[in-house]
Each structure stands twice: as C-alpha cells, then as structure tokens.
Chains A and B, each alone.
Chain A
Amino acid sequence: MSRTYASYAHPWWQRLLVNREVAVLALLVAVVIWAVGNVVYFGTTLTMTYLLLDTAPVLFIALPMTMVIVTGEIDLSVASVVGLSSVIVGVLYRAGVPIGVAALVALVVGLLCGALNGYLVAYVGLPSLAVTIGTLALFRGLAVGLLGTTAVTSFPKEWTDLATAQIGTTGIPLIMVPFVLLAVVLALVLHFSPFGRGIYDIGLSPEAADFSGVNVARTKFVLFLLTGVVSAFAGIYYTFRFGSARGDNATGLELQVIAAVLLGGVSIFGGRGRLLGVIAGVLLIGAISSALRLLGVTVNVINIIIGALLVASVLTTNVLPWASSLTARLRRPGTRPQQAPSGVGSSKR
C-alpha cells in the first residue's frame, strides 16, 4: 500500500492519464460542463457564487487536513473547532468586545485546540483517531456549554456583508482571496520545501523519516496547530456568513472534509496525495450537490452519491495497483511483486 515507484517507468503522458488528481479534475470539469448544459440556472454567476460561498469552510479546512492525513494522522475535531470559534466570537461580541478582537481571540483558541491535539499526538504519541474523537466531543461540548441553546445573531452588517462580499462584479466571493493565498502558500510548502518532503516521508515511514533527520514530532505538532487555526478561521467565516453563532454550528463537517480529502486522492495510510486533487475533490462534491439541488434532488440522494463516490474512489486507488501488479506477475511468471514492507500502512487502518 506504499507508493510504488514502478509507475515512473511509464512515459509522462501515461502517468498523466492514470494520475489521480487529473482524474478528479477531469471528473469535476465533466460534471460542470454537463450541469451547465443540462441544469437550468447552474451556469449563472449567482449559482457559482453560492457554490463557492457554501464550500468555503470545507475548502479551507481541507488544506491543512490534507497535510495531516499525508503524515498518516487524522483530525476529527475540526468541525468542533469551527463551532467553538464561532461561539467565542458570539459570546465576546455579546459581552461588548470589539468584533475584531473577538475574532482574534477565536483564532488563538483555535491555535490552542490544535496545540492540545498536536501535543497529545506528536509528543505523547497517542493515536490521533482516538485523541481527536475525544477532542471532537470536548471542543463541541465547550461550544455548547458556553452558549447553551441560545444563539448570538445581529452581528454588525459590515462584517456579515464582508463574508458574502464579491470581488467587484465578477461574482467571485472575496473569501476566495485568502483561500487562494493560503492554498498557494501551503502547496509551495507541501510540494516544494524540505518541510513538505518531510511530511510525505513521515507518511511513508515515520521511522525512516526520523532516521533521515526529519523532526517527526515537531512536524506533526505544527500541522495540528495549522489545522486548529484554519478551522477557527473557517468558524469565524461561518459565523458571519450565516450571521449566527450557535453551539451546534458545522456539526458533522469533519466527515465532509475527510470525504473530500480522500476523494481528492489522499491515501488514508499517509504518504500520498496532492493539494490540487483535494481542492478538485471539494469542488466536485460541491458542484454535484449544487447541481442536484437545482434539479430538485433531495439531500438524501446527494448523501448516497457522495458516499458511493468515496467508496469507489478508494476502491479504485487500491484495486488498480493490485490489478496491475497481478498482470505484472502474470507477464513474468516466477517473480512475485515486491510486497510492501510491513509497518508501512499496516499500522493504520
């Protein structure tokens, strides 16, 4: 289940054809083209604007989540951090704190949430799945505890307008500017920096990464910090976008984020996946949901389709290499394909 370098034996255009990111991007383009042609109103600027506004929280959180999953860890607590930061903005605003300060405090709380996850996973060495199920409940509980069943609404109009503002008359939401900036920076870090190489090394084999000089614990800690801050930012956006701070804001969003990341070609075992594919994955789910909703299909069917896509996507990533190794074995009788060393991938489900 580790990455096979055998694929480099093929020419670049063949690799491009079987490339996961390209496949997701192609699917996205196909869905958009089909929807523009067949779904009334899908091609309008307004639909596109709302598509981006609605998927923005998932888009943001998917970026650091990708990096966390590439190291072979996972963070299930992101939606609870969204809820907690939303509540903190609400509670502080209600108490008369200037809204800019409230947002800043929410970001710091997000950082602290990430620090707790990161400390327990990276330095104590606990399994991230268990830790973040715990902090999922903890952070959500703090959010609900702070605000109860009430909601803080009536935020200043300039802030709620800011969340839905567009760049001029292009229809592109303003929130896409920080997103694109963050995506570019993180893509550079992940794909073109020693720190980013370290992230992949950790995912492929933490021991080997450690021996080759990667600071495994610090890398993981930093990534959890990043996830916390970005989730808090998404929470602030969420609050102003819907003009409401509630304890149960964004419940269940973690599963949407993880579904999109995995759909985008990131291996849950770590060590494989690229940001481009993930962004395409988020937009693919967003486009399908948006198109089907315009067609009057209910949210249930959309759930089924997203679930089926997720299952199909891992089945293809895992069954295709297996099938190709099988054909390779058939072609050269007597030689068995090199088995992935145990420990890589098998330590995680």
Chain B
Amino acid sequence: MTDTVPHTDRATEALVEPSRLSPAQRAVSALVRSREVSILVVLLAVVAAATVKNPNFLFSGNGWRDLLLTPSILMLLAVGQAVVIITRNVDLSVGSVLGLTAYLTGRLFVDHPDLPIVAVVLAGLLAGGVLGLVNGVIVAYGRVPSLVITLGTLYIYRGIVLTWAGSNRINAADMPADFLALGTNQILTIPVLFLVALAVLVAVGYYLYTARGGREFYAIGSDPDAAVLYGLRVKRRVLSAFVLSGALAGLGGVVFAARYGTVSSDAGTGLELSAVAAVVIGGVAIFGGSGTVWGAALGAVLLVTINRALPILGIPDFWQQALVGALILGAIVLDRLLASRRARRLVESRDESPTHTAEPGPAEPTDSALAEAREQA
C-alpha cells in the first residue's frame, strides 16, 4: 500500500486506481487472459492431438477442408445467437429457421431453374430475416419473454417446413452444379463457405466493438431498465438483433443446402441448442451484457471440431455429447470463478485506493472497512 502513486489533482481521481502497466503491456495481458485466446488454445490442442494420432486430420486436402468447412454453419448461427444473447434474450428458433430456408433454397431451384444463384442466396437471407422479424416484433413490442416466444416459433416454423416439404427431399440433382460447387470450392485452399462465415463474423464483430449501435446491444443486455432511462431505442435494437439472428440462420440454411446437397424437412433440428452451447462456451454471459462474437464463433468451431476429433482419439463417438455437456458446464463454472475473483480484486483495489482515505464527509463506515482491510493485510 505504500507504493501507490500519490494523487494531487482531484479532477483526475478515478474510482479505481489507473493501471501502472503501459498500454502495450495491458493489451498483452488482456489478450492472454481473454476467453477467446483460451478457447483457441484448447482448439489448437484438440487439433494437434487429433493430428498426432492421424496426420490426415490436418495434413490431407480433405482433412484441412473439413476442418474449416464443417463448423461454418454453426459459426453463422453462433454469431447471430451471440448478438441476441448479449441483449439478454435468446433465439431458440434458429434450427427451424435454418430448416425452412434450406428447404426454400432447394425448392426455388426446383421450381425456378433459371433463377440466378445470387437471387436464391438473397431469398434465403431475406426469408430468414423475415422469420427473425416475427420473433423480434413479438418479443420487443409484445413485451414477452423471448425464451417462450422463440420456443413457440421453433414449433411453428418447423411445422411449416414439415407441412411444406412433407416427405419430399431435395436432392443434389435438383440443384445447379454451380451452386453445389460453392460447398466444395476453395480459394487458396480455404473453402468458400468458411470465408462467407468469416466475413460475417468480422463484419458483426467489428460493428459490435466499434459502432454506437453495437455498444448499445451491450448496454441493453447489462441493464435493460437503465438503457430505457438512458434513452436508448431498446425495442428497435432488440428487434434488429432478432432480425440479424434470423437472417444469419437463413444464410445458414442456404449454406446447408450448398454443403450437403440434400435437404429434407428435418434439416437443422436441434441446432438451436448447439448454437446456444457454442455461445456459452465462447464466454458470452447467458444474462447478456458481455462476451464477444469472436468467442462465440470459436466456441462453435471448438464444438464441431471436438465432435470430429473424438473418434480419431479413440473415444467412441457415442460419448461426444457427454463431453460437450461437460465442456459447457466447465465453461460456465470457469466464468463464475473468474468473475468472482475479478470482483474481489476490484473491491480490494477500491478499498486500498488512496482516493478513498481522502474522502471528506461522513466516511465512517468506509474508514472502518478500510481499517478492517488493513488488519487483514
């Protein structure tokens, strides 16, 4: 406590003492401690372990391609889901939205073979956006919990696909070769669909980090009531989060059709829980207000990659799901431990801060608390 910087100017006083580390040091330590980096380390460890066991996992053309291609769909869903969860909502309908747009994509190719591919991709995106809009309007303006509404639309959207598709199945032969080539094409050995997912991730990540609108998502999730009092357009923001989530699920549906070539009415069933799991593993707090889409996307890649690596590591793939569950639990327990440690640190640094002792006026309780803290030290 003796080496704290003495303060002279009251105007520069802060609640928490400024860090003594240089900005560069702070950036490095924040990076090392960030959730994203720890997931990346785990991800690399999984890939390394699988590669040691079977070099083809990474060093064959197919292995490298699948490594990037397989997580692309879940990445798209996780990015949308992360934005929704950051606003303290949840979108359980994404799996059904994906199924609907995947079938729509195939159907459009079957019924209108002359449609340009771009138009079909846009149609999928738009359809997803409209389904998201329905969720968003009900949640934001109906003032109802998103968990319930999107659980309802999960059933409704799935019911629509089931009715529409029946037992029909769109096969690869029904779709143009150019479109299916999107699922296999590569640019500099990187699959096109992964690049699409990456582009979406970078755009949304940059927006959330820098734009005013992006910061408002966090403000709303931290404290919806305060956000209203502050004059933020909470309803419009929440609505836009759902539209984004729906549109990305729609894009995911198009990607699904291009990647797998066959679409039946059960496409994407259960993906909503994977998306939420990816987001939770990625360090986005389930009650909103914190986390990044980078983490969510890495969580998605980790989930998918673990599923693919387990059989190679000699663990029967029946146990995959159990491991995924343990991973989710581990991630949230870890979050809690880190958060409580951080909170304790903040309280300590507040109690030890010299600005606190200089506080004039009725500071009796704080002084006694300080004395207590001194005694303990």
Scan residues 129-179 of chain A and give those whose CB is less than 8 A from a CB of chain B.
129-131, 133-142, 144-145, 148-149
Q: Is A188 an interface residue (CB 8 A)?
A: no
A310 touches B151 (CB 8 A): yes
Scan residues 308-332 of chain B and give those whose CB is less than 8 A from a CB of chain A.
316, 318-329, 332
In the assembled complex, how far is the CB of residue B309 from the closest CB belonging to chain A, in whole angstroms?
15
B interface: dominant SS: helix
Residues of B within 8 Å of A299, CB to CB, are: 162
Given the contacts A133-B273, A304-B160, A318-B142, A311 and B225 also touching, CB distance less than 8 Å: no
B328 touches A130 (CB 8 A): yes
Chain B's closest residue to A256 (CB) is: B155
A144 to B325, CA, bound (A): 13
A135 to B146, CA, bound (A): 22
Given the contacts A134-B332, A318-B143, A141 and B155 also touching, CB distance less than 8 Å: no
Q: Is B369 an interface residue (CB 8 A)?
A: no
Classify chain A's interface size.
35 or more
Q: Is B145 an interface residue (CB 8 A)?
A: yes
A311 touches B153 (CB 8 A): yes
Chain B's closest residue to A130 (CB) is: B286
B145 touches A304 (CB 8 A): no
Which one of B148, B270, B325, B336 contacts A141 once the chains associate, using CB atoms below 8 Å?
Answer: B325
Given the contacts A308-B156, A311-B156, A133 and B287 also touching, CB distance less than 8 Å: no
In the assembled complex, how far is the CB of residue A112 from the closest CB belonging to chain B, in whole angstroms?
14
Which one of B88, B158, B159, B336 contacts A349 once the chains associate, using CB atoms below 8 Å?
Answer: B88
Given the contacts A136-B325, A259-B155, A310-B155, A148 and B318 also touching, CB distance less than 8 Å: yes
Residues of A within 8 Å of B257, CB to CB, are: none
A137 touches B225 (CB 8 A): no
Q: Is B224 an interface residue (CB 8 A)?
A: yes
Scan residues 304-338 of chain A and give those whose CB is less than 8 A from a CB of chain B.
304-311, 314-315, 318-319, 322
A303 to B151, CA, bound (A): 11
A306 to B142, CA, bound (A): 19
Q: Is A184 an interface residue (CB 8 A)?
A: no
In the assembled complex, how far is the CB of residue B341 from the closest CB belonging to chain A, in whole angstroms?
14
Residues of A within 8 Å of B319, CB to CB, are: 141, 144-145
Residues of B within 8 Å of A126, CB to CB, are: 332-333, 336
Q: Is B147 an interface residue (CB 8 A)?
A: yes
Q: Is A301 an interface residue (CB 8 A)?
A: yes
A311 to B145, CA, bound (A): 10
Cross-chain pair count, CB within 8 angstroms: 165
In the assembled complex, how far is the CB of residue A231 from the closest CB belonging to chain B, in whole angstroms?
16
A307 touches B287 (CB 8 A): no
Scan residues 273-315 of chain A and give those whose CB is less than 8 A from a CB of chain B.
298-311, 314-315
Q: Is A127 an interface residue (CB 8 A)?
A: yes
B145 touches A141 (CB 8 A): no
A303 touches B156 (CB 8 A): yes
Chain A's closest residue to B164 (CB) is: A300
Residues of A within 8 Å of B120, CB to CB, are: none
B329 touches A307 (CB 8 A): no
Q: Is B152 an interface residue (CB 8 A)?
A: yes
A349 touches B321 (CB 8 A): no
A interface: dominant SS: helix
In the assembled complex, how far is the CB of residue B290 from the closest CB belonging to chain A, in whole angstroms?
13
In the assembled complex, how far is the CB of residue A16 from the closest CB belonging to chain B, in whole angstroms?
24
A137 to B323, CA, bound (A): 8
Residues of A within 8 Å of B149, CB to CB, are: 311, 314
A348 touches B145 (CB 8 A): yes
A315 to B148, CA, bound (A): 10
Residues of B within 8 Å of A139, CB to CB, are: 325
Given the contacts A138-B322, A304-B163, A319-B142, A133 and B148 also touching, CB distance less than 8 Å: no
In the assembled complex, how far is the CB of residue A125 from the closest CB belonging to chain B, in whole angstroms?
7
A306 touches B162 (CB 8 A): no
Residues of A within 8 Å of B157, CB to CB, are: 307
Q: Is A14 an interface residue (CB 8 A)?
A: no
Residues of A within 8 Å of B323, CB to CB, are: 141
Q: Is B138 an interface residue (CB 8 A)?
A: yes
A346 to B143, CA, bound (A): 11
A303 touches B159 (CB 8 A): yes
In the assembled complex, how far is the CB of residue B154 from the closest CB belonging to chain A, in whole angstroms?
7
B147 touches A307 (CB 8 A): no
Residues of B within 8 Å of A348, CB to CB, are: 145
A134 touches B328 (CB 8 A): yes
Residues of A within 8 Å of B1, CB to CB, are: none
B145 touches A307 (CB 8 A): no
Q: Is A67 an interface residue (CB 8 A)?
A: no
Query: Which of B146, B149, B276, B318 lies at the interface centre, i.e. has the most chain A CB atoms within 10 A of its CB?
Result: B318
In the assembled complex, how far is the CB of residue A224 from the closest CB belonging to chain B, in whole angstroms?
14
Residues of A within 8 Å of B138, CB to CB, are: 311, 315
Q: Is B79 an interface residue (CB 8 A)?
A: no
A319 to B88, CA, bound (A): 20
In the assembled complex, how far is the CB of residue B232 from the closest CB belonging to chain A, in whole angstroms?
15
Q: Is A347 an interface residue (CB 8 A)?
A: yes
A133 touches B152 (CB 8 A): no
Residues of A within 8 Å of B161, CB to CB, are: 300
Could you pull out 8 A-B pairs where Cβ atoms are within 8 angstroms?
Answer: A127-B287, A141-B318, A141-B321, A304-B159, A304-B160, A305-B159, A322-B143, A349-B90
The 5 lowest CB-CB distance pairs between A and B, nearest first, are: A138-B325, A141-B322, A307-B155, A141-B321, A300-B162
5 more CB-based (< 8 A) A-B contacts, given A308-B156, A310-B148, A349-B145 = A144-B319, A145-B319, A259-B152, A318-B142, A349-B147
